[in-house]
Amino acid sequence: MKKLVTLLLAVLLVLSLTGCSQTFVRIGEKSEIYTEEDIEEAFDVALKEFRREFDGCTLIEMGYAGDETRSEQKEWAAQYKADECIILICSFETDGRVGPLNPNSVYENYKLILTRTGGRNWIVQTGGYG
């Protein structure tokens, strides 16, 4: 009986994992500016936005652009009148259903610009290349 229960639990685990949409790699860039919690919160917000705005695309990886983008982060924060900005970089594959994106293509180093003010939640402001 114990083996049967273990087997059933293993099957349920495999089925639940295969049912997950968009499994991707999170690149864990260390930061002296942001805590791991700050970066994780930004990831979560960006992932929700990606799933909403990029329907039909498969996220491959996402990561913090790194502290070396600090001057660019300051510029974006000023543009959106925010206290802070974090830049995430992602790679994804299209299936042709998302607006102007090329069908069946892989986009790499696509920037997602998030800001926040007063320690509130991150907001995705824009994305793209450049």
pLDDT for res 130: 63
Q: Where are the beta strands (DSSP E) in the chain?
A: 25-27, 58-64, 84-93, 106-116, 123-128
pLDDT at 98: 66
Average pLDDT, the chain: 82
The residue among 114 and 20 whose pLDDT is bigger is 114
Which strands, in side-by-side order, build the sheet including 84-93? 25-27, 58-64, 84-93, 106-116, 123-128
Between the alpha carbon of residue 5 and those of residues 17, 55, 81, the distances in Å are: 18, 38, 56
Residue whose C-alpha is closest to residue 111's, from 94, 125, 90: 90
Which of the four pLDDT bands, split at 50, 70 and 90, describes residue 30? confident
CA atoms within 13 A on the CB side of 64: 24
Between 41 and 101, where is the model more confident?
A: 41
Q: Which of 6-10, 48-52, 110-114 has the lowest mean pLDDT?
A: 6-10
* Range with the largest mean pLDDT of 3-7, 25-29, 56-60: 56-60
- Ramachandran class of 8: left when φ > 0, alpha when ψ lies in -120 to 50, beta otherwise: alpha
Q: Which helix (DSSP H) or strand (DSSP E) does residue 44 occupy? A: helix 36-53
Q: With a cut of 70, say whether residue 15 has pLDDT above it.
A: no
Q: How would residue 46 be classed by pLDDT, with cut points 50, 70 and 90?
A: very high
Write the pLDDT tens digit of every residue in 53-106.
888 899 999 999 999 999 999 999 999 999 999 999 999 999 867 677 888 899
